[in-house]
Amino acid sequence: MLGSAIIVFRETLEAALIIGIIAAATQALPGRNRWLAAGIAAGIAGSLVVASLTEWIAELAEGTGQELFNAGILGLAAVMLAWHNIWMARHGMQLARDARQLGKDVAEGGRAMSALAVVIALAILREGAETSLFLYGLLTGGEETFATVISGGAIGLATGAAAGYALYAGFLRIPARWFFAATSGLILLLAAAMASQMARFLVQADLLPSLASPLWDSSWLLANTSALGRFLHTLIGYEAMPSGIQVVFYAATLILILIGMRLCRLQPQIPRTA
């Protein structure tokens, strides 16, 4: 039971932390909860479909289907996060200021939220598919009973979700004047982390050169297996032993999004008269 609890916790944690950040970053957007719920539901449904297709996906592209699939999901999620940050750089201030124009806000908030709901769905899809495969293996392996597997899984899920909620609650304590910078900064790093993981899968599939494997080894300082290492791996893409190309993807994503945010930022303008 403990075994299933630990693995479900690990898989849940990644998705839960991502949901925690996104929920905090969008707390001011109208219609947020509906979009969050839609993203979570779509992710769970999708993960069951992906889990049932695992063997088929694995055999695609001469046995590299799984890597391509994961890389595609991570790439799409990174693009959605980038788009959100650039959009918020342009409209975020306005959105907060023009609270009166409720009708317009709901529509615009919806546009901003839809991209992040996709990110949530993709995060759950990836982690959820692995979790359901693992639980399925335990159940058919016959070494544990249905009750212990399910209760272990439920404990893991609850603990992971609690960690995500704790992150969310912590974020809401950030003073208002830093809040926007903090959340968009973290979403920026999250996008870079996903791009770096995407590069790792493409190296694993032999579609990209690793450039250096590893470029450095900081596992003596902070190992990927430690609790803090895992936490930072999910949030900001920390790797104790990254390949060179991962660092290239990470840095390029950061720079491109920052340029996008800078180019799209609205100049301070004279308030419109309605």
Please report, as ranges, the residues that interact with another protein according to CB under 8 A. 3, 7, 54-55, 58-59, 62-64, 66-67, 130, 133-134, 136-138, 140-141, 200, 203-207, 209-210, 213-214, 219, 223-225, 239-243
Q: How far is the CB of 201 from another protein (least distance, A)?
A: 9
Tokens (6 digits) for 87: 């959009």
Q: How far is the CB of 137 from another protein (least distance, A)?
A: 4
Residue 208, phi then psi, degrees to nearest 5: -130, 145
Q: Which is nearer to another protein, 42 or 207 (CB)?
A: 207
Q: Which is nearer to another protein, 140 or 269 (CB)?
A: 140
Angle (CA) 48-50-54 rounded to 5° is 120
d(Cα 92, Cα 71) in Å, to the nearest integer? 30
Q: Which is nearer to another protein, 109 or 242 (CB)?
A: 242
Contact 47, 129 (CB under 8 A): yes
- Residue for token digits 């293996």? 137
Q: Which is nearer to another protein, 84 or 126 (CB)?
A: 126
10, 14, 221, 231 from 227: Cα distances, Å: 10, 12, 13, 6
Tokens (6 digits) for 229: 């290492």
Q: Which is nearer to another protein, 159 or 224 (CB)?
A: 224
Centroid of chain to Cα 213 = 25
Q: How far is the CB of 75 from another protein (least distance, A)?
A: 17
Q: How far is the CB of 54 from another protein (least distance, A)?
A: 5
Q: How far is the CB of 214 from another protein (least distance, A)?
A: 7
- For 25-75, give the secondary structure using H, E and C: HCCCCCCHHHHHHHHHHHHHHHHHHHHHCHHHHHHHHHHCHHHHHHHHHHH
